[in-house]
């Protein structure tokens, strides 16, 4: 783990909260895993949780009973990604425990108790995204996740199982599923559990109510009858049954039995004001609390076909991985950088060619994975608690996939005309097939559909413009960009907008952006990020949970929490 001193992270008023001064690195690989054992048997992989209790990410707590912290989940996220790309031959994945008497005790409570509010919220967001990625693999990658539970499966442990689409549980009297958060900790099962209970597994709400208020949870037949699990089997038959189900459930997968591509370690250089990747550069302006995320378009044309094979240097994949790493880094390690500004540089025609390649080969397993990776990465932006701006300038390449960054932004500025001293022609943007389907938001709509919710005809009209260069005036007329200052106004207008943003309350912006970004329908995923997470964030601020006498603070001390007797 690298380490940077970020001495301006916290102001004095919050200095009693735990300072996370160690930089969190999201890059890992199986040979470095401390907490998971990954094994393979034909088309079935097994991902066994085996948390090293002495390898917590931060001091102050031990990871007992297969409880997890962010470090455990970083490995899980990595494993889920690699299984998709490096193992096309794997058609189903069994999540289980390598420990004898426990499946997983959920998120580590002491870790939560000592964490700052922003860290808790970001931790939950990341774990939610990982669980959504598991469901995405099952639904869209032909890689079916199931879980095999023996021993206690509590809280976040059961929520992990809920993210898989088939749950087998040992019927042995000591194995149970439970969500003890409300009775024990005065917080919610906040990693999608409540939503998945009623919306995914359709557990009847009164049963869900009973289950979520019953510390010891449910076991055996009743758990199956209430649809908390799909199948119960004698403990001795658990893994054998899981293997059989894995084969059955994976049998419809279209993944080819061939070699995957290996995901090379992402190279980056982190400085105080600049993070350099190969295709992405992050420039941090600490005085004005913002960072520019500059995406460089591809420098050469895509291959004509698959003959030479694609690897993780393939531009769309490499760019997505770097962008994702930058997003996660900024979320966790740069909490005071409150506005992210997307810029791009490069040749629009090259981006167009890559998008055409992705669209033409979308049936190929690897291209499908790349498209899904782009989708998940862009989704991370939508739920990032940062103001998102896009600046579209001469020399930029906001086309197709890269244009999604501007469409994900809370507002975009496109320069009208050319810039003095810049030889590039005036900026233009263009649409590709990638803007019309593969890159949906968590509400199930494309960014264009969500943007033009009241004018569905507009999206059809735009589809007719695929491939055409759209100049600034036209882009504004078509509603694709927010503002189009010319050179005379550009610098001032951008500067004022960024300064203004930096002056507002972060929290009000978070609530506002979360409300404006998701017009239209809701899905399980969007419900998790809005309804459930918003309530959890609230609870994570309430004295009943986090006050000196709150349940989360006192957990494990033997002292009883004291609650405000009022309902709100």
333-372 residues in contact with a second copy (CB under 8 A) are: 335-338
Q: How far is the CB of 40 from a second copy (least distance, A)?
A: 34
Q: How far is the CB of 25 from a second copy (least distance, A)?
A: 20
For a second copy, the binding residues in 113-142 under the rule CB under 8 A are 117-118, 121-122
The site map against a second copy for 443-472 (x = CB under 8 A) is: -------xxxxxx-----------------
For a second copy, the binding residues in 32-61 under the rule CB under 8 A are none
Residue 392, phi then psi, degrees to nearest 5: -110, 105
By CB under 8 A, residue 515 contacts a second copy? yes
Give Cα 466 distance to the centre of its chain.
29
CA distances, 144 to each of 76, 89, 263, 385, 444 (Å): 16, 12, 21, 31, 21
By CB under 8 A, residue 394 contacts a second copy? no
Q: Which position among 44, 163, 289, 434 is part of the footprint of a second copy (CB under 8 A)?
A: 289
Residue 451, phi then psi, degrees to nearest 5: -65, -40
> Which one, 10 or 36, has the nearer CB to a second copy?
10
Q: Which position among 62, 89, 349, 522 is part of the footprint of a second copy (CB under 8 A)?
A: 522
Q: How far is the CB of 482 from a second copy (least distance, A)?
A: 4
For residues 27-36, one letter each, b for 16 or more C-beta atoms within 10 angstroms of the residue's C-beta and e for the rest, the string is bbeeeebebb
Do 182 and 212 touch, CB atoms closer than 8 A? yes
d(CA 388, CA 369): 26
> Which one, 4 or 264, has the nearer CB to a second copy?
4
Residue 97, phi then psi, degrees to nearest 5: -115, 145
d(CA 133, CA 137): 6
Residue 217's region, left for phi above 0, alpha for psi from -120 to 50, else beta, is left
> Which one, 3 or 516, has the nearer CB to a second copy?
516
Q: Which position among 95, 167, 188, 383 is part of the footprint of a second copy (CB under 8 A)?
A: 188
Q: Residue 347 has which token pair? A: 């040749």
Q: What is the DSSP letter of 65?
A: G
Q: How far is the CB of 63 from a second copy (least distance, A)?
A: 24
d(CA 56, CA 59): 7
Q: Which position among 172, 417, 511, 555 is part of the footprint of a second copy (CB under 8 A)?
A: 511
By CB under 8 A, residue 198 contacts a second copy? yes
The site map against a second copy for 207-226 (x = CB under 8 A) is: xxxx-xx-------------
By CB under 8 A, residue 507 contacts a second copy? yes
By CB under 8 A, residue 12 contacts a second copy? no
Q: How far is the CB of 10 from a second copy (least distance, A)?
A: 7
Q: What three-state secondary structure class fits 206?
A: helix
Stretch that binds a second copy, among 42-50, 139-147, 203-211, 275-283 (CB under 8 A): 203-211
Q: Which position among 318, 537, 553, 554 is part of the footprint of a second copy (CB under 8 A)?
A: 537
Residue 462, phi then psi, degrees to nearest 5: -65, -35
> Which one, 90 or 337, has the nearer CB to a second copy?
337
Stretch that binds a second copy, among 139-147, 272-280, 347-355, 521-529 (CB under 8 A): 521-529
d(CA 438, CA 154): 35
Sign of the four-CA dihedral 229, 234, 237, 239: positive
By CB under 8 A, residue 205 contacts a second copy? yes
CA distances, 415 to each of 392, 393, 408, 488 (Å): 6, 5, 18, 10
């Amino acid at each position: 783990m690298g380490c940077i001193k970020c001495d301006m992270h916290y102001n004095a008023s919050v200095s009693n909260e735990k300072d996370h001064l160690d930089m969190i690195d999201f890059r890992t690989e199986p040979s470095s895993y401390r907490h998971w054992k990954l094994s393979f048997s034909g088309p079935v992989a097994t991902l066994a949780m085996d948390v090293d209790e002495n390898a917590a990410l931060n001091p102050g707590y031990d990871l007992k009973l297969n409880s997890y912290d962010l470090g455990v989940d970083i490995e899980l996220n990595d494993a889920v990604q690699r299984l998709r790309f490096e193992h096309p031959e794997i058609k189903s994945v069994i999540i289980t425990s390598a420990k004898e008497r426990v499946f997983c005790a959920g998120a580590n409570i002491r870790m939560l108790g000592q964490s700052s509010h922003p860290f808790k919220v970001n931790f939950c967001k990341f774990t939610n995204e990982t669980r959504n990625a598991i469901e995405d693999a099952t639904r869209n990658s032909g890689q079916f996740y199931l879980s095999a539970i023996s021993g206690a499966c509590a809280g976040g442990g059961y929520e992990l199982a809920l993210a898989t689409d088939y749950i087998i549980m040992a019927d042995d009297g000591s194995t149970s599923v439970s969500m003890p958060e409300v009775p024990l900790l005065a917080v919610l099962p906040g990693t999608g559990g409540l939503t998945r209970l009623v919306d995914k597994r359709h557990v009847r709400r009164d049963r869900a109510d009973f289950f979520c208020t019953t510390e010891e949870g449910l076991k055996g037949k009743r758990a199956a009858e209430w649809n908390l699990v799909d199948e119960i089997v004698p403990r001795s038959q658990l893994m054998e049954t899981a293997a059989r189900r894995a084969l059955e459930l994976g049998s419809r997968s279209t993944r080819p039995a061939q070699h995957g591509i290996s995901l090379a370690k992402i190279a980056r250089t982190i400085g105080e004001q600049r993070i350099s990747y190969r295709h992405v550069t992050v420039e941090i302006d600490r005085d004005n609390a913002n960072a520019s995320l500059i995406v460089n378009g591809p420098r050469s044309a895509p291959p004509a076909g698959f003959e030479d094979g694609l690897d993780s240097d393939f531009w769309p994949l490499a760019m997505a991985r770097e962008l994702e790493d930058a997003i996660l880094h900024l979320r966790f390690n740069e909490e005071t950088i409150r506005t992210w500004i997307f810029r791009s540089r490069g040749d629009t025609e090259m981006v167009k060619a890559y998008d055409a390649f992705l669209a033409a080969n979308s049936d190929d397993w690897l291209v499908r994975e790349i498209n899904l990776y782009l989708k998940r990465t862009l989704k991370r932006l939508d739920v990032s608690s940062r103001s998102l701006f896009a600046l579209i300038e001469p020399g930029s390449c906001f086309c197709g996939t890269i244009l999604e960054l501007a469409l994900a932004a809370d507002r975009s500025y496109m320069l009208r005309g050319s810039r003095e001293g810049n030889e590039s022609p005036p900026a233009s943007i263009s649409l590709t097939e990638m803007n019309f389907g593969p890159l949906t938001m968590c509400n199930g709509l494309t960014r264009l559909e969500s943007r033009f919710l009241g004018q569905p005809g507009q999206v059809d009209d735009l589809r007719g413009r695929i491939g055409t260069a759209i100049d600034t005036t036209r882009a504004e007329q078509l509603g694709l960009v927010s503002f189009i200052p010319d050179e005379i106004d550009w610098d001032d207008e951008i500067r004022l907008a960024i300064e203004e943003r930096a002056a507002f309350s972060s929290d009000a912006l978070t609530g506002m952006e979360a409300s404006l970004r998701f017009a239209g329908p809701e899905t399980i995923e969007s419900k998790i990020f809005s309804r459930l997470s918003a309530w959890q964030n609230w609870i994570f601020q309430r004295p009943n949970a986090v006050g000196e006498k709150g349940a989360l603070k006192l957990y494990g001390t033997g002292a009883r929490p004291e609650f405000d007797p009022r309902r709100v």
